[in-house]
Every structure is written in C-alpha cells, then in structure tokens.
Structure 1
C-alpha cells in the first residue's frame, strides 16, 4: 500500500491510546483525519482541540462524502464489535482496512526502527527512548501508548529517518513490524484469552525477537532470549549499580560492556523504571548517541501520564495514579511507593480490567493488592468483553488477605478517599478509573 496515494484516513476507535498517536501523525503529514469512538474522553477532547473531526454515534451518514475507496485508508481497533455499521459499510465497499499494527509496519519499514516489546514497561521504555533520541537531535518519530508529560502527546517528533514504536503482543500484532533494534522488557503471561497459555505467549515473543540479530536485541536479564542483557545490581551487560536516592531522584552508575558511566540521574520511582531507563540508555547508545546527551535527556524525562503519575505531591498529602492492570505491575507500584514513603499509610483503589484477565490472574491480583494498608475495589471494567459467570469483584475481594478492604462504586470511592486518614492515595487500573482522577484530585485538595 502506498501512503502517498492516501488523502483521507478514517479511524474506528480513534480514542484508543495507540490509535490516537497514529491520528496525530496522519494529521501532521497533511492527511484529512476523521474518526469514530464510543464515548468522549480526555484523549478525544485533545484530538478535537488540534482540529480532528470526531463523532460518537455509529452512523454511516457521518462518514464524509469525499472519503472515496481509492483515496481513503480505514484503521480499525480490535475492540470494535462485528456488528458495527460503519465498519460493515467499509467492508462491503471494499475499502482498504488495516489494523493499527499493520499501519505501523507500513510507516516504519523504510525507517531505522526501534521496537519495544514486553507485557509490562513498553510505554515507559519507548517514551524514554523517544525522548532521549529527540532531545539528542536524532530525526525521529515515536509512536507511543501513553501521553508523555514533556510533550503532552503520545507522538514525539516528526522525523523520517528513525522511528520508535511499541511492539504490542496483543493478537500477535508486533509481528507486523520490521525492527532494526528491539528490546523485550518482560514476558509474563497476559492476554490468555488470545493465546491460550503462557507457552504460546513465550513462543510469540521468540518469533518477535528473531526479527533482529542478537547483537541488536536488548533483554532483561533472566528472560529466555539471546541478546544484550539489562539488569539492576547484577552482572548484566548493562547494569545499574551504586544506586542511591537524592532529592527524589535515582542517581546511579551504568556498567556497560566497555565502560562505567557515573552519576546518571533519573526521576521515575521503582526498580522497574530503572530497567526501563537502562534499556533506553543501551538502545540510544547503539545508535551512536553520546553518554552526555543520554544523561541529560534521562534527567529531564518527566514521565508518562497514568504511569506512577503524581497528582498531588505535598509533605502531608500524596496522590498517585497508575495504569497497572496486571499483578506484576501492581507489585511494581507497591515496591516504588514503599521505597519512597516508608512507614506511611497507603490506600489503593483498584479497578480490574477485563473479565478474562481477572479470571486468569485472580490469585495474583489478590496477593499484590493485599500488600497495601487499605484496598478499595471497584467493579470489573469490561472493555471489549461480555460478563463471565462467577467472575466479579466480589470473588476477587474475598481472596484478598487483608481485613481493610471493601467493594466501592465510583461515588463511594470519592467518599472513601475523603474520609480516609491515609498519607498516600493511589488509583490503579486501565479502565475508566482514569477519567475520575481530575475530580479525585480536587476532592482530596478540598479535604485538606
């Protein structure tokens, strides 16, 4: 497919985090961009603010009349139901319909492509890498799965030479990419509704890893893949050592295969974020970026919206919001917050994401949530799924080994936060709990 012949791009599911990065990109290169989504969100508001046409009704009469078959690309999210009338309109008229990953494959195949894969850490690692390359003067475009605070966007740069992409394992879509350099942050079981079992997920990651040579593959030490290894306080090829915390920042040395780079500064908490920063360090270095430029960019990276995102950071009140939706990610949030706030009372509100994921990892969720001082559990956010018999938040709540737990509605969550004597408040989840953050922040400020 030749993108030069495409004048119009129509998105079904334009409000998805990955889809919206593509929408920004196509608008930037001069295409007319129109899209549908089910409901307005902060993301769709931001897209409309930069001039994109978006509607929230599945109605074929809202498709522009000049979006002809020969000049229009249709990009569809996997979350759209087969009954969707706009999607069927395009299918029946034989429009060029692609998934996001296929389009990323087309855009990146003629560039020097960095691909970041892994069940956790993709968004943060690719955002750090995109920031480091952009700040270092590289001609880069980074397509990201989160809003980077430095740019207030999920698209960094507009370069034509180098691309950074998140390589998403969902429905094996990362196999559409053509990476020159890639990394794997983690290979935990997830998306078992697609893969069936952990062995199938591992096989898919192996297939992805085989797309680059082992010299151009960077992996967390311990993963069953051949490549340059990354780790914290161990004998990995790239290792963070002499780690300390100064004024809320990690300061550490990076041992590489050839040298020790001292006093690297990075502001995101948690050891998982140290490995994310190390992956970006190693990959940027492989492209020839100097140590000095990498160090300066790492120190200025502000983080990604909804990834351990400080909403309130005061001496007597802290509110953090995080996108974690897997037990390993919740453990990482807990480790980071305990390291930053030892001895403080921590209350966590969690909204499970997907019935299938809750069913597959219910014991892991219960164990990870039990570590907080108080747990507020919301109903499961279904996203693309229909309910499953017996799979609900009451079932998960009963497995949490902590007496300070309760099931809450959205309204009850506000009341619980307002009445709590906790020092640190956290909201966790990949569903629409993120839409409550602004109002929760306001309520907590008013309470104090």
Structure 2
C-alpha cells in the first residue's frame, strides 16, 4: 500500500522493537526513513547500516532537512513511551505535521491487507513469528510485523516475495499495552492468553478481559478466531464474536497435542484437531508453552491450505525468537537459557519446561523484575513461580517508564520464595557471585536490561567449559 503524498517517514523511538519493524517496512517500500532514539543499541546500528538516518539527541536541530523543509510530504510516527516534554514531539505537534501513533499506522496497513493478528498476555511474539515462518517457508507471500527478533531472519520484519501473484497476508503482533491493538483490522485473530497484566493501564482484571473481548470483536464477520483453552474460559464463550471459533491447548477438546516428549534440545508431539492428526512433529524451541503456541500456528497453516509435509518442515526449521527460551549453552554438563519472561505465568511456563528437560539437575534462576507496579501487583505470583527453582538470584527492579514506588523493591519477593538459596545481588556483583556458585542449569529471566548481561554470562560459561579455547 502507499501513503498518499508521503515520501519521508520520521519515527520517534525508532529503536523500539515494534517501531523498528515499521521503519524497515517503510524503507522496503521506498520511503526515506529517519528517526530519533534516546540511546544507541545494536538494533539502531542495524537500522543505520540499512540506510536510515538516526539521531540520539532530542533536538529540533537533529531532524533531517528533508522533513523540516517538506512537512506536507512527511509522516511522523511516535509511541507513548516518548516523554511529554520531548522537543521533537512538541515541535511536530506545534507545526501540524501528520503525526500518528505506531498503532494507528499499523491499523492503516492492516486495513489494506488480509491480516492475521496475534494477541495475548503471553506467547504472542513466538506464535506470530511461527505463523509467519510457516507461511513463508511454504511459499506464501507474507509481511510480518513482530515484537521480537526472529532467529531465522535476524529481523522483526518478515517480507515475502513481491513477485508472487497471490495476495499478501499480513501477520501482526497485536499489543494490548495502551489498548494499541484496538486500531487493527484483523481477518483472523489468535488469543494466546488473557491473564491480568498492564494494570497501570487497565486498572483491574475485568477491564483487561474487556479489552481482549473488544479486540476479538474487530474480526471480520467471515474471519476466524483461534483461542487458547484457558483464555476461552476466562473470557467466556458466550461473550466472543459470532465467527468461526476454534479452541486449542495442550489438553483442549478442540485442537490438542498428544504424546508430548521433552528432550534436552527439543519437544516432540502429535497434533490432533478431530480432522487432522500429524504424528511426530519436532519443535527445536523447547517448552510446553511453545508446543501450545505451535498448535495455533499449525491450525492456521492447515486452514491456509499448507500441506502436512510443509508444516513438518516449517515447524522443524523454526529457530525461535531472541530471548524467548533461547539456549546459549547446552553441552551436557552445563546449560544456560535466557528468556524474556516477566509475568508470573510466563516464569512458571519457562521453569516448568526447564524442569521437564533436565529433571535431575540443579536449577538456578536470575530474575530482574520489570516495573515497580507489576512487581507490586503480582508479588505473590512472582514468589510462587520462582519457587520452582533450586536457587534464586534477584536483581533490582528495572523501572522502564516508571518512577520508584515507596516500599516496592525486589527484596519484597524473597520471603515468599520457597527455597533456602535465595538472595538479592547487585548487577555489578553478579559475575563474582556466579563464579562462587558454579551453577549447573542457569536461566536468566526479565524484560529489562538483563539481556545486556547475557553475552558475558554465555562467554564466561563457555570459557569455563573450554578454558583453552582461543
């Protein structure tokens, strides 16, 4: 599609995962793309290498002349994460530039194409990535806007073959934060989960459930809804839109997984939906939750006339998403897994899967809580899920967009964690602590900046395993 009269796009917060996917799409479509972000990152480095002009100073002086001199031909995209006092944001507002939120622009894109939207408190990044990969590997023309960096494509944007005569299918991760997903125009929807989260936005559990229901009702009348079994129970079947609806889950009465085998580097299972039975599927991104995500992706693939053999190939070749159950070390003696989990249910799903893969090994977890409000709202749940580990190391809370809340700290989780080995460790002392602890199976968890510690931990563990390697 084209944005009439626009030839340049400027993104405020271009380094965010969702924003950078849009930036890449506009670049691919031939627009001049520029942007601002607070700090450089590997992702902004990649965008600049792809030809985008990015500044890290929030000043009018750093806005490209092509934007300043041709406001009628410019589109400015921003996210709610931009501070209200931003010089660039306020300049664009005062000068009446065409200024739209990321969610509005995604809404414009999805209104022009057949769209599969994946929503849910957990699992939406992996599920949307898996669906897009399944379609692309089967030769279907697809464009996917994702909330993570796929290992197969090393990008958060997947592009299909422009030369294909088939119509393009858009796959989009539908974010419930700030009710952004209500801007989309989906033909098909996957609801992976509906647990309470973002209570700073929604206020309480009832209102976030209402948000998911409102989103589901955006489905085209001829469309389809795939809903995870527990999400279906929470939302209430009678409240869902009257469209073709399919329930899925590990033990669902609709689409289910059978004969699940947890192996050290993969999960094997059978897919069954009453009409199709595909045996011995192997998924190389381990986890019971990922098997469940795969059920939705397989069901959609079948409904899009992808063959069982193509599904088998697509599933086994899917390498996952960075920071989603990403295995960095697994040599038989030591294991290191990193995961984005930042909600009690996500932590429970991750650690339960690690336990199934390595049932006799000592499990050590490093967790960085994300947001003061989330730590406060789900403190009991965090403590309970972290109790699945043998040893727990807590880092300080990552504040993100929040200011500290008096009395809310990582230490408040310690009393509720049911293990003798638990402590609060500062980030700067973490490596010394690991040297002394000598962990067997190690998992890092969190959505803050804990990812910056991962390369060092992986290098340390590999060096310890092979100290003579150069």
CA distance in 1, matches of 2:18, 2:435: 34
| Paired residues of 2:263 and 2:357 also in contact (CA < 8 A) | no
Structure-to-structure mapping, 1:378-417, within 5 angstroms: 378-417=395-434
User: Which residue in the other structure is 1:64 paired with?
Assistant: 64
Residue 329, structure 1, aligned to residue 331, structure 2: no
- 8 Å CA contact 1:42, 1:435 repeated in 2: no
Deviation at 1:419, TM superposition (A): 2.0
Between the aligned partners of 1:401 and 1:253, the Cα distance in structure 2 is: 35
Matched, 1:38 2:46: no
Alpha-carbon deviation of 1:262? 2.0
Distance 2:447 2:262 in 1: 29
How far apart are the structure 2 equivalents of 1:351 and 1:61? 37
Secondary structure of the structure 2 residue equivalent to 1:48? helix
In 1, Cα distance between equivalents of 2:175 and 2:438: 40
Tell me the residue number matched to 1:365.
382
| CA contact 1:418–1:447 (8 Å) conserved in 2 | no
On the 8 A contact 2:287/2:349 being kept in 1, the answer is yes
Paired residue for 2:26?
A: 26
Q: Give the gaps of 5 or more residues in structure 2.
A: 466-470
Distance 2:418 2:113 in 1: 50
Aligned to 1:192, which of 168, 190, 199? 199
Within-5 A mapping of 1:46-61: 46-61=46-61
CA contact (8 A) 1:215 1:228 kept: no
Moved more, 244-253 or 163-172: 244-253
Off by >3 Å, runs of 4+ in structure 1: 245-248
CA distance in 1: counterparts of 2:302 and 2:9, whole angstroms: 36
1-structure distance, mates of 2:251, 2:378: 29
Question: Structure 1 residue 23: deviation in Å?
Answer: 1.1
Aligned twin of 2:111: 109
1:49 is displaced (CA, Å) by 2.6
- Equivalent in the alignment of 1:131: 133
C-alpha distance in structure 2 between counterparts of 1:185 and 1:412, whole Å: 37
* Cα distance change, pair 214–188 in 1 and its aligned pair in 2 (3 A): farther
CA RMSD across the alignment: 1.6
- The whole-number CA distance in structure 1 between the counterparts of 2:6 and 2:426 is 46
The superposition leaves residues 49-99 of structure 1 with CA deviations (integer Å, 9 ceiling, x where unpaired) of 322222211111000111122111111111111011111111111111111
CA contact 2:115–2:185 (8 Å) conserved in 1? yes
The answer on 1:173 being equivalent to 2:180 is yes
Distance 1:415 1:6 in 2: 54
1:122 aligns with: 124
Equivalence for 1:307: 324
Task: Find out whether 1:219 has 2:227 as its counterpart.
Answer: yes
Q: Which moved more, 1:189-198 or 1:217-226?
A: 217-226
Could you tell which deviates more after superposition, 7-16 or 125-134? 7-16
- Report what 2:14 is aligned to: 14
How many angstroms does 1:215 deviate by?
6.2
Deviation for aligned residue 1:296 = 1.0
Deviation at 1:306, TM superposition (A): 0.2
Aligned to 2:468: none
| Contact 1:115/1:181 (<8 A) preserved | yes
In the TM superposition, what are the counterparts of 1:151-300 in structure 2 within 5 Å?
Answer: 151-158=153-160, 161-212=168-219, 213=221, 216-222=224-230, 223=232, 224-225=236-237, 226=240, 227-235=245-253, 237-245=254-262, 248-300=265-317
CA shift at 1:250, angstroms? 2.1
Asked if 1 retains the 8 angstrom alpha-carbon contact of 2:21 and 2:156, the reply is: yes
Q: Give TM-score scaled by structure 1 length.
A: 0.96
> Post-superposition shift, 1:45?
2.1
Deviation at 1:325, TM superposition (A): 0.5
Contact 1:112-1:163 at 8 Å conserved across structures: yes
Take 2:2 and 2:50, find their aligned partners in 1: how far apart are those partners? 26
Deviation at 1:163, TM superposition (A): 0.3
Q: 8 Å contact 1:369–1:400 — kept in the other structure?
A: yes
In 2, Cα distance between the equivalents of 1:33 and 1:398?
50
Q: Which moves more between the two structures, 46-55 or 15-24?
A: 46-55
Q: Larger deviation: 198-207 or 214-223? A: 214-223
